Structure 1
């Protein structure tokens, strides 16, 4: 099953290189990807897919296309185009850092270190967190940290390993600690965001931007937490992060519906019209593979997580993938972007496609993606 799904994904990505040209897919509408000129938070996922395809196939067409995306990210950095957000790791870990990992290209390494510096500048001493969106003092977004940022911390950990500069490691560790303290609830569910007073740094409460309500558990947020804490453990070997990833993973798996693919929010009322989020399940699959790589065979709960992984991936391939539809642009149907804002629910999401491919390749070939070397 995995090989068939991989070959299908590789062929669709090959076709999309011609379809997309020098533009980047974001989310789809009516089965067609919306394309942009490298100015959104999602553009790194396309670059990451190209590097994965190159590693799997050895086909220089994928390498050449991936290199072109890195050139685009270099231009974006030089012009500082839409970089006033925390998603710098999503952009540069999967583009220039991927090129460094695959090819040891020195220019790619330098570009990735520049990206780490951009992310580092989002650190707020008052409150001790990385500000999610907007400029410092932004009246709407200032004072907000979000769980998604855990997947941007590998950029800082990597920069520390490359340079020995403690600033990168200290900020990454503190952000992970603050995420455990403020974003993970006592029942192992999670807030999407947490808000701090910008003048004093005092915490004021958990909230959501994309979930069903402030106290609900947004499925993709829980997914970021599972994978993010597992990666934080890989870099630090702090057992608290591993335990948090396990707890969040068990919560996620316990609350899945019968077909093992999540609804967009665990607290949303379930009706025949309730949206799924296949992209959240793809992130969790990749995160479970990382988490399981750190667990002993005797670890209590390991078998349940392995079963959850297998059931989710089988359902994604059988029920949500576009295997058997050669004209499809995306790999996974029924992703949800921003349901509350009515932004492209129930269609292709480029991050869903990336994590689905990453999980497939890790399961079949041991290719692990580009969050660490």
Structure 2
């Protein structure tokens, strides 16, 4: 089995290196800037005077859909603007990023959601990383304090949704792994180990209860909040309770790689590598490495793709490549994903309301956001491109 894996790695390394030469990152960022200028103009039109609608999420009924700051996707567009500033050093992007980030800051007090990392860390967190603005630091610390109120010591995990209480008693979704980065950052900013300990507890319990023997993950694990025992394992956005929802696998890969960065605990590195092996050895993974929305969807290959899952995987792989002994293999895979996305899944310049990428899937079972642009696909695409450029230049990611 080991020989097979390294044989596959050699093939991907060769093709990945060859295809990476076709990936012109400066030109890709220049075109992303062009699209984002289109998006900014479309946002102004779509707002129609509204002060509540702050960020783009998708295209719905041939219209740009904007969301309020409380939506879990609200922080991604401000984060994209920070990434454009980081790459270009153009202060106009910084001004835009500051403006859109300011719209998200009140979410630091919103204890009714687990999505504090997606909303606040992707926006304010990137702002703080690039500017060291003390105001941003204060927002991050308060956001982590608010998020920590959703932690149940008995179950050892952070509660995800408050909705659908008739379906779940204390639900935890695999997506929640991405919100732990805010807690790790807050622990460093405040010197308070409590945030670190909550993040580690959540990561450990998720590893224990979310994953199957083949290292695929369930989407939702429901806990008894009194005893901490698992009640059931289900899905909300995947094909079935037993299936491998593509973006869920991506969240796991990215999340455990990040947890290894923050803790240096080898079990997190091993977990990330196991998840990667599941993804890339799966017979239903297309040759271009852009997965269908669920690895077990019944009509493959006639199922929608999920480009957002591919961008999260690519970004996670690039970080994983800096820690793993199979680093060249992972970097080759990420390069291939990014090259294929750039060549085949981008929106034409000036079209699609300024979104960068097409063909993502939000929730196929709900027939919601199927085969559309999604803001988080664009966010992780730019993040992955930045990471690849840094690695090519011999720079550290963190």
- 1:202-229, Cα deviation, whole Å (9 max, x unpaired): 1123211110100110000000000100
SS of corresponding position for 1:115: helix
Among 183, 190, 196, the residue aligned to 1:156? 183
Counterparts of 1:85 and 1:19, CA distance in 2: 28
Judge conservation of contact 2:75–2:120 (CA < 8 Å) in 1: yes
Partner of 1:118: 146
Partner of 2:212: 185
Judge conservation of contact 1:2–1:364 (CA < 8 Å) in 2: no
SS of corresponding position for 1:210: coil
Partner of 2:24: 2
Partner of 1:273: 302
Cα distance change of structure 1 residues 336 and 288 upon mapping to structure 2, 3 Å threshold: same
How many residue pairs get aligned? The number is: 361
Residue 271 of structure 1, CA deviation: 4.0
Among 22, 29, 40, the residue aligned to 1:17? 40
Judge conservation of contact 1:253–1:305 (CA < 8 Å) in 2: no
Judge conservation of contact 1:31–1:330 (CA < 8 Å) in 2: no
Partner of 2:350: 326
Among 217, 220, 223, the residue aligned to 2:244? 217
Judge conservation of contact 1:86–1:133 (CA < 8 Å) in 2: yes
Cα distance change of structure 1 residues 365 and 237 upon mapping to structure 2, 3 Å threshold: closer
Residue 317 of structure 1, CA deviation: 1.0
Residue 95 of structure 1, CA deviation: 1.5
Q: What is the RMSD of the two structures over their aligned residues, measured on CA atoms?
A: 2.1
The 10-residue stretch of structure 1 (332-341 or 51-60) with the greater mean CA deviation from structure 2? 51-60
Residue 115 of structure 1, CA deviation: 0.5
Partner of 1:169: 196
Residue 140 of structure 1, CA deviation: 4.0
Q: If the length of structure 2 is used for normalisation, what is the TM-score?
A: 0.86
Cα distance change of structure 1 residues 243 and 272 upon mapping to structure 2, 3 Å threshold: closer
1:360 aligns with 2:385: yes
Counterparts of 2:178 and 2:107, CA distance in 1: 20
Among 322, 337, 351, the residue aligned to 1:312? 337
1:43 aligns with 2:68: no
Residue 174 of structure 1, CA deviation: 0.4
Counterparts of 1:340 and 1:270, CA distance in 2: 13
Counterparts of 1:254 and 1:303, CA distance in 2: 17
Judge conservation of contact 1:133–1:142 (CA < 8 Å) in 2: no
SS of corresponding position for 2:221: strand
1:71 aligns with 2:102: yes
Residue 303 of structure 1, CA deviation: 4.4
Among 134, 147, 151, the residue aligned to 1:106? 134
Judge conservation of contact 2:107–2:120 (CA < 8 Å) in 1: no
The 10-residue stretch of structure 1 (346-355 or 9-18) with the greater mean CA deviation from structure 2? 9-18
Partner of 1:91: 119
Counterparts of 1:138 and 1:167, CA distance in 2: 28
SS of corresponding position for 2:75: helix
